[in-house]
Amino acid sequence: MGNRRDKLILISGLIILFHAAYSAAQHRTYVRLTEKDATRLPGDVVLQCIIGTLLACYGVVSVAGTFRDIKVGAELDNKTWETLTNRPAFYTFAHRGAKFFVSKKANGRSALNSND
């Protein structure tokens, strides 16, 4: 896990993002009350968003701990080719066999018990 400094960076980044969201909401209310035609946020709010996002991303990556390498070969070494190509999700049971082997009664007799 991350140390105390990394956790502090994460918390400060989240606080800066929260403050930027609050400032954007205040700016929107101000624009409505003064009936000005402002379509963009002030530069300080945009800068707060960028700095807060960068700090929060760095904090999350640092607090998450050490990353492990992805080793596909280690998992695949123990399997045979037959188990690798076996995909049960793609099994199809709607085949033509039902058309060839009729199990309904035909002419009053069972198709399987016809003794002719």
pLDDT digits (tens, 9 = 90+) for 13-34: 999 999 999 999 999 999 999 9
- The whole-number pLDDT of residue 24 equals 94
Domain of residue 42: give its range: 4-63
Reported as a pLDDT band with limits 50, 70 and 90, residue 67 is confident
> Which residues on neighbouring strands pair with residue 109, listed in sequence order?
106
- The whole-number pLDDT of residue 38 equals 78
Is 20 among the domain residues?
yes
Is 101 among the domain residues?
no
Is 22 among the domain residues?
yes
pLDDT exceeds cutoff 90 at 49: yes
Check if the beta carbon of residue 27 is closer than 8 Å to that of residue 66: no
Tell me the pLDDT of the chain averaged across its residues: 81
Q: Where are the beta strands (DSSP E) in the chain?
A: 105-106, 109-110
Is 87 among the domain residues?
no
